[in-house]
């Protein structure tokens, strides 16, 4: 485990934002090591050197994410977007199946179920998701942390309710992977993007599936989904991969080249230490808001703080060098490794006028 001094020194060596960046829930800042890896990957292509080493990044990222997710690498597929992963899960359901979702959840975890047109999609408030599972529920789809306001789902309660009714679970960890400990093995299917709290570039996303694949059909399978990819480039794939790699999409090699050192950084620091760092800053902001007479959306323990009615101040904050988001009229601030207590205080000072 990193000491506080080592943690802070390592973070300072990787991040040097020009202003106050409190918007990781939209896009994480790239560490210095990631920028260097992206530059080297681009040079390989620009200079015409063999790019075969970049394919090693695919397996390295799969293994690193598997460790963070708490599952074997054989259960991890590497793709491009959560929407595509959701689409594979949606395609596996029989017509008329009920999918239980959360009101106002992020579109990527919802829309593929809706566009099927022959599924019964039911939405309930987040705090009622576990109690709303019923005998005819086939699947529960939910974000571990809500993008709009940072509320954290009670996943243990959801898991137990789903098991009691033989329903499967699909959890999107995009807003939590990297700062909140996760156990993908507790759920049938999970997904996450790389460019938020995992601090990677756009273009990569992960899907975890059960050892028996949970009834999923690899409807997006191409040559990389073959047991022997380089022998699967022409004609139908003769033999699909025996692992979750059968759900892989053709890899975004540059994105994965950058993501590999980002995942290394998260592992070096430790999710527990990252969690403590992020939540301490979010709590500092919550305390400061109370002193200013503002009340955020209740989301205890979250690294995301959303303040009703203040979203319209986002342009003003940006002009002052403080980057946050305006989400449905709420000001959303999200705290991660590049941030310091001074960043929180600067945000509060601007809000105080």
pLDDT for 82-134, tens place per residue? 999 999 999 999 999 999 999 999 999 999 999 999 999 999 999 999 999 99
pLDDT at residue 52 in the model: 81
User: If DSSP codes are grouped into helix, strand and coil, which group holds residue 286?
Assistant: helix
Residues of the chain above pLDDT 90, percent: 96
SS3 readout for 104-172: CCCHHHCHHHHHHCCCEEEEECHHHCCCCCCCCEEEEEEECECCCCCCECCHHHHHHHHHHCCCEEEEE
Whether pTM > 0.75 for this model: the answer is yes
Name 225's bridge partners: none
Confidence at 3, pLDDT banded by 50, 70, 90: confident
pLDDT at 17 over 70: yes
Confidence at 2, pLDDT banded by 50, 70, 90: low
User: Mean pLDDT over residues 193-203, rounded?
Assistant: 98
Distances (CA, A) of 123 to 105, 119, 173, 207: 9, 13, 19, 23
Q: What is the mean pLDDT of the chain?
A: 97
pLDDT tens per residue, range 256-284: 999 999 999 999 999 999 999 999 999 99
pLDDT tens per residue, range 239-252: 999 999 999 999 99
- Cα 5–chain centre separation: 28
pLDDT at residue 50 in the model: 86
Q: For the chain, which domains are there?
A: 4-29+269-352 (3.90.1150.10), 44-268 (3.40.640.10)
φ, ψ for residue 133 (rounded to 5)? -70, 135
Question: What is the C-alpha separation between 332 and 208, in angstroms, rounded?
Answer: 29
pLDDT at residue 291 in the model: 96
DSSP classification of residue 297: P
Residues making up the chain, counted from first to last: 353
**Are the CB atoms for 79 and 248 separated by under 8 Å?**
yes
Q: Which of 294, 323, 299, 298 is nearest to 310 (CA)?
A: 294
């Amino acid at each position: 485990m990193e000491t506080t001094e080592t943690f802070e020194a390592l973070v300072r060596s990787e991040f040097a934002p020009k202003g106050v960046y409190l918007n990781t829930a939209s896009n994480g800042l790239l560490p210095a090591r990631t920028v260097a890896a992206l530059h080297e990957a681009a040079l390989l292509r620009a200079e015409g050197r063999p790019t075969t080493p970049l394919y090693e990044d695919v397996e390295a990222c799969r293994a690193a994410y598997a460790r963070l997710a708490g599952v074997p690498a054989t259960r991890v597929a590497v793709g491009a977007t959560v929407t595509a992963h959701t689409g594979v899960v949606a395609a596996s359901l029989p017509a008329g199946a009920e999918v239980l979702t959360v009101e106002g959840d992020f579109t990527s975890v919802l829309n593929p179920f809706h566009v099927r047109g022959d599924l019964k999609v039911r939405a309930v408030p987040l705090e009622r998701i576990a109690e709303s599972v019923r005998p005819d529920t086939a699947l529960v789809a939910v974000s571990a942390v809500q993008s709009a306001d940072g509320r954290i789902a009670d996943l243990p309660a959801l898991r137990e309710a789903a098991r009691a009714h033989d329903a499967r679970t699909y959890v999107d960890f995009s807003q939590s992977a990297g700062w909140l400990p996760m156990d993908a093995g507790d759920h049938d299917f999970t997904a996450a993007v790389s460019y938020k709290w995992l601090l990677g570039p756009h273009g990569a996303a992960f899907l975890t599936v059960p050892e028996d694949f949970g009834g999923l059909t690899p409807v997006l399978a191409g040559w990389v989904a073959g047991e022997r990819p380089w022998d699967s480039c022409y004609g139908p794939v003769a033999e699909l991969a025996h692992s979750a790699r059968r759900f892989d999409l053709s890899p975004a090699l540059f994105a994965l080249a950058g993501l590999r050192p980002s995942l290394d950084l998260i592992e070096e620091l430790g999710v527990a230490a990252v969690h403590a760092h992020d939540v301490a800053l979010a709590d500092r902001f919550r305390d400061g808001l109370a002193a200013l007479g503002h009340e955020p959306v209740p989301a205890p323990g979250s690294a995301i703080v959303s303040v009703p009615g203040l979203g319209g101040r986002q342009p003003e904050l940006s002009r002052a060098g403080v980057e946050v988001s305006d989400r449905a009229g709420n000001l959303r601030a999200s705290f991660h490794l590049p941030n310091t207590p001074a960043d929180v205080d600067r945000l509060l000072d601007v809000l105080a006028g």
